[in-house]
Amino acid sequence: MTKVIDTCSILVLTALICFAANMVGYKGELQTSLLGVGVILAIGVLGFGISQLPLLNKTYTIIWVSLLAIFASSPLCPWSGWIVATTSKIQFMAVATPLLAYAGLAVGKDLAMFKKLSWRIIPVALAVCAGTFLFAAIIAHFALKWEGAI
């Protein structure tokens, strides 16, 4: 139960920071931004709730949250029009910027370990990240062409 309360309180607070980001960075209006963040928060809490149900609590939260959000915005959901309209007022970046702020604030704990690594891992890590991005993008490019999607 503590975990549920903890998670929900963090979600509420971080959603408010997203709201602030949306106001500052993307000139969002107060009311529409607040409503948009509220709907995103509600779907998030509901998705998290589903992942905590008995039998499902061995599965990954990310799957349920993603599926619920896709469903809520798809034509299958009777309220999808309203949900898409309200949440589109929140920019993706308004959620991503605070996320990366927390990532930055957490990075210090890994820096001590990072300093102990051999220099060799650095070029290798750059190549690993570049590889997954570039190869997927190149394959996607030719597949899209072949499919006639672009």
Which 50-89 residues touch other proteins, going by CB under 8 A?
A: 61-63, 65-75, 77, 80, 83-84, 87-88
Does position 141 interact with other proteins (CB under 8 A)? The reply is yes
**DSSP line for 119-142:** TTHHHHHHHHHHHHHHHHHHHHHH
Does position 126 interact with other proteins (CB under 8 A)? The reply is yes
Q: How far apart are CA 49 and CA 41, in angstroms?
A: 12
Q: Which is nearer to other proteins, 27 or 31 (CB)?
A: 27
Convert residues 90-119 into a mask of x (bound to other proteins by CB under 8 A) and - (unbound).
Answer: x-xxxxxxxxxxxxxxxxxxxxxxx--xx-
Q: Which is nearer to other proteins, 53 or 139 (CB)?
A: 139
* Two tokens, residue 3: 């975990």
Q: Reduced to 3 states, what is the DSSP secondary structure of residue 74?
A: coil
